[in-house]
Chain A
Amino acid sequence: MSRAVRFAPLVILLVLLAGLVWRLATPANPSITSKMTGKSVPAFALAAALPTKPGLASTDLASGHPRLVNFFASWCVPCIAEVQLLQQLKAQGVHIDGIAVRDRPEDVADFLARHGDPYERIGSDPQSRVQISLGSSGVPESFIIDGRGIIRYQHIGVIKDSDVSMILARLEQAK
């Protein structure tokens, strides 16, 4: 066996070790950055989910100041916890719009009556079409859209207490 072949296993081992050491030193970040961040919101116009509030269209999002778009559903249990937190955000001056996914008007009305309503506009997305076009796959998920209608951040899962300062900072950046 030639010298190169004899040392080959050692070299492969060193490369492997380097990779594994790197991984142990920088633990995997489970969140995946959306391919949609930095792009404009795809065009859509959703009918109102409630008779008492306007629906949501992509043009509403380019309103000159950053907005939080929250995908939720009355059948989603974590959304109950989140919607209460969103009201705190609203009290701090955040503009929040909702998109009700695969939901019925009476259920949405009931959900908001019970747990509070932080939304300025609520669009109804009965087939998840808009949700999918934004690169979101579940509820709850939230997007930060800047004043020009460009997606700046995608948050997968519930916004928790510990996320609030990060969300506010990102909204600030999006100004």
Chain B
Amino acid sequence: MIAEAGLAALWLAAGLAAFQFILMIGALRSEVGLVRPMRSIAVVQGVLTAIAFAMLVLVFATTDLSVALVYENSHSAKPFIYKVAGTWGNHEGSMLLWVTILAAAGACLALFSRRTSEQTLVAALGSQAVLALGFYAFLLIASNPFARLKRPALEGLGLNPLLQDPGLAFHPPTLYIGYVGLSIAFSLAVGALLTDQVDNKLAQAMRPWVLAAWIFLTLGITAGSYWAYYELGWGGFWFWDPVENASLMPWLAATALLHSINVLAARGALKAWTMMLAVIAFSMSMVGTFLVRSGVLTSVHAFAIDPERGTFLLALLAIYVGAAFVLFALRGATLKEGAPFELVSRETGLVINNLLLSVILGIVFVGTLYPLFVEAVSGGKLSVGAPYFDAVAGPLALVLAVLVGVGPLLSWRRERRPVFKQLTIPGLLGVTALVITFIVAPMIAILPRLGMTVAAYLLAASILPLVGRNPLRAPLATWGMVIAHFGIAVSLAGMAMNAAFTEERLGVARPGDRLNVGPWTVEFADVTPTAGKNWTALEAKLRATRGQGLVILNPQTRFYSDPPTETNEAAIETFWNGQLYTVIGKSDENGGWQLRLWWKPFVTLIWAGGALIGLGGALALIGRLWRLRRRRRESAGWRQERYA
């Protein structure tokens, strides 16, 4: 019954979405006040979808093997948390999560949106409904998660062991909230273009939604990067894999949007550009979902290729993005740009920020899809990897990081203060760092060296907006910006030091042998068998020391039985100045074992920076919402006084 209840809820939600869309057309044609019923419908639709998703979670939690999806992706011997997480560890379940977040976002828009005009809200809710409708159809027609088996199975086939990790429980939902949260910006932009009400009010209303989605996207990417780092056992944190790029592209677009929207909110300028970014950001989410789910690009993320589903998703992508771009092309001309600004001004700074982010986005986009187009045109096969992305996007990212220190110091319209004087100390810090890198490590590559230079500069420059004023009286949004920009410096420092100073040691060791990596001497003690709930493993014991103190590490090679798979569980020990990362591989016939050891100085800064960026976003969001609420209270008070 549970599965049937979920399916029924999904059908009802689809029906309501269709009704919501029809109401929007009616409301826009006749200008009848339909905003109240539309709000209610959007909320009910969100609740119904949430019920459908809860039912699927329940089916997985109880391992109901009469449901085909559970049979294919779960197993009774799995730890409970992975049974639950298994709900979205497969195609159908993850698409249901996608549409659940989409409907929930629509419901939130209906519940909390107060600042957009009624007409724009009606159009935005209609757009959100039509987005959801397509994905309901996709689920109900091509990927029903609730389908039953004719005869219940006795045991499930199991979940890919790589996904049996706490990272899986949080990474996809976080990323999806980010991806799909951008749909609100998309719908508001479409709504405003339809009703011809693109103004600073719209930007102020849109900003918290973009910020919220962007926070989740940032945290999701950071978590995914760390998960790949420790779970895949390759010792890298970013591989420029198509699926990773699929999550990076919406982030780049959303970051650009986050900055341009400030110009629109404060100055009424960059109207067309901001609307375009709002459309592009969610379009990139859909492109990303399509690339991941259809399996058209070769990737380490081994998702099944299914042409029928791929075609369906591609049709949705074409319709939604195509319609939005057509609307933009037709209405873009009527948008009047707001107040003019001088060459040296915050507006210009943000325009440059946007241009650089867009170019980096273009680079990632082209690099990700280039192999596909080369094969389509000439039949040749090639792959685009880290060397291209690092060499092309790296220098631009560094230029951007330099400007991150400058932009927040500029004032709107025109610059009156001596900005560059303020940057003396950060500049000197950067130069000092550069000199130190030449003394300490004369042989490292240019990009990591410049990375460390820029990181040192930005660590200081990013906090300048709080200098020369009482920091406690600075708005929370300013604090958020400062912390996020500081996080960029921290992350950049981690990446640069990781690239410059990582030491790798690959060797064959017999019990008693010692290997050196970085400052560490690692003694290979022995290998013992061990077991977990649904796996057995060979576990090595490594004794690591650098002078004094002893650290024991236990990397494993795990064997899962359902489905039969072998994984390497790296053993990682974190210190204040880096991580010791160890992996054990195969044995040879002479009793030797392959060992891979890395010493990665300050590598944790990469993710610490990512977390700081997310935290900064959260502070800014709280600050914005706080201010909106206070303003609303004030205006309410004013009305009460006046009409008392």
Interface residues of A (CB under 8 A from B): 1, 3, 6-7, 9-10, 13, 16-17, 19-24, 27-28, 30, 32
Decide if B400 is an interface residue (CB 8 Å cutoff).
Answer: no
Interface 9-residue window, one of B18-26, B118-126, B180-188, B322-330: B322-330
A24 touches B273 (CB 8 A): no
Q: Which of chain B's residues 297-321 have a Cβ closer than 8 Å to chain A?
A: 298, 305, 307, 310-311, 314, 317-318, 321
Minimal beta-carbon separation of A32 from chain B (angstroms) = 6
In the complex, 12 of the A-B residue pairs with CB atoms within 8 angstroms, ordered by the A residue number, are A1-B272, A13-B321, A16-B369, A17-B317, A17-B318, A22-B376, A24-B310, A27-B305, A28-B298, A28-B375, A30-B298, A32-B381
- Chain B's interface size range is 20 to 34
CA–CA, A6 and B332, complex, Å: 7
A9 touches B276 (CB 8 A): yes
Decide if B294 is an interface residue (CB 8 Å cutoff).
Answer: yes
Decide if B373 is an interface residue (CB 8 Å cutoff).
Answer: yes
Give the residues in chain A near B318, CB-CB below 8 Å. Answer: 13, 17
Give the residues in chain B near A21, CB-CB below 8 Å. Answer: 314
Minimal beta-carbon separation of A96 from chain B (angstroms) = 28
Decide if B290 is an interface residue (CB 8 Å cutoff).
Answer: yes
B296 touches A23 (CB 8 A): yes
A24 touches B325 (CB 8 A): no
Interface string of B322-348 (1 = CB under 8 A from A): 100110110011010000000000000
* A24 partner, pick from B272, B314, B322, beta carbons under 8 A: B314
Kindly name the residue among B272, B287, B296 whose own CB sees the greatest number of chain A CB atoms within 10 A. B296
A6 touches B287 (CB 8 A): no
Minimal beta-carbon separation of A68 from chain B (angstroms) = 25
B369 touches A19 (CB 8 A): yes
Give the residues in chain A near B163, CB-CB below 8 Å. Answer: none
Interface residues of B (CB under 8 A from A): 272-273, 276, 279-280, 283, 287, 290, 294, 296, 298, 305, 307, 310-311, 314, 317-318, 321-322, 325-326, 328-329, 332-333, 335, 369, 372-373, 375-376, 381
A24 touches B307 (CB 8 A): yes
A24 touches B294 (CB 8 A): yes
B328 touches A6 (CB 8 A): yes
Minimal beta-carbon separation of B586 from chain A (angstroms) = 11
CA–CA, A87 and B54, complex, Å: 57
A7 touches B329 (CB 8 A): yes
* A19 partner, pick from B294, B317, B373, beta carbons under 8 A: B373
Give the residues in chain A near B273, CB-CB below 8 Å. Answer: 1
Give the residues in chain B near A3, CB-CB below 8 Å. Answer: 333
CA–CA, A6 and B193, complex, Å: 13
CA–CA, A20 and B316, complex, Å: 13
A19 touches B372 (CB 8 A): yes
Contact of A23 with B305 at beta-carbon distance under 8 Å, contacts A6-B328, A10-B329, A16-B369 already known? no
Give the residues in chain A near B325, CB-CB below 8 Å. Answer: 9-10, 13
A24 touches B376 (CB 8 A): no
Give the residues in chain A near B307, CB-CB below 8 Å. Answer: 24, 27
A24 touches B332 (CB 8 A): no
CA–CA, A6 and B287, complex, Å: 20
Contact of A17 with B332 at beta-carbon distance under 8 Å, contacts A9-B280, A24-B296, A27-B305 already known? no
Closest 3 CB pairs of A and B: A6-B332, A10-B325, A6-B329
CA–CA, A12 and B321, complex, Å: 11
CA–CA, A1 and B332, complex, Å: 7
* A20 partner, pick from B272, B296, B298, B335, beta carbons under 8 A: B296
Q: Which residue of B lies closest to A14 (CB)?
A: B322
Q: Which residue of A lies closest to B333 (CB)?
A: A6
CA–CA, A13 and B310, complex, Å: 17
Contact of A13 with B322 at beta-carbon distance under 8 Å, contacts A19-B369, A21-B314, A24-B296 already known? yes
Minimal beta-carbon separation of A33 from chain B (angstroms) = 8
CA–CA, A24 and B307, complex, Å: 6
Minimal beta-carbon separation of A48 from chain B (angstroms) = 23
Minimal beta-carbon separation of A9 from chain B (angstroms) = 5
Give the residues in chain A near B276, CB-CB below 8 Å. Answer: 9
Contact of A9 with B279 at beta-carbon distance under 8 Å, contacts A1-B273, A20-B296, A23-B376 already known? yes
Q: Which residue of B lies closest to A21 (CB)?
A: B314
CA–CA, A16 and B294, complex, Å: 15
Kindly name the residue among A3, A6, A19, A20 whose own CB sees the greatest number of chain B CB atoms within 10 A. A20
CA–CA, A10 and B318, complex, Å: 10
Give the residues in chain B near A27, CB-CB below 8 Å. Answer: 305, 307
CA–CA, A172 and B326, complex, Å: 56
Q: Which residue of B lies closest to A33 (CB)?
A: B381
Contact of A9 with B369 at beta-carbon distance under 8 Å, contacts A24-B296, A24-B310 already known? no
B326 touches A10 (CB 8 A): yes
* B314 partner, pick from A1, A7, A10, A20, beta carbons under 8 A: A20
CA–CA, A17 and B310, complex, Å: 12
Minimal beta-carbon separation of A126 from chain B (angstroms) = 15
CA–CA, A3 and B287, complex, Å: 25
Q: Which residue of A lies closest to B294 (CB)?
A: A24
Query: Given contacts A1-B272, A3-B333, A6-B328, could you give 17 more A-B pairs where the C-beta distance is less than 8 Å?
Result: A1-B332, A1-B335, A7-B329, A10-B325, A10-B326, A10-B329, A13-B321, A13-B325, A17-B322, A19-B369, A20-B296, A20-B372, A23-B376, A24-B307, A24-B310, A28-B375, A32-B381
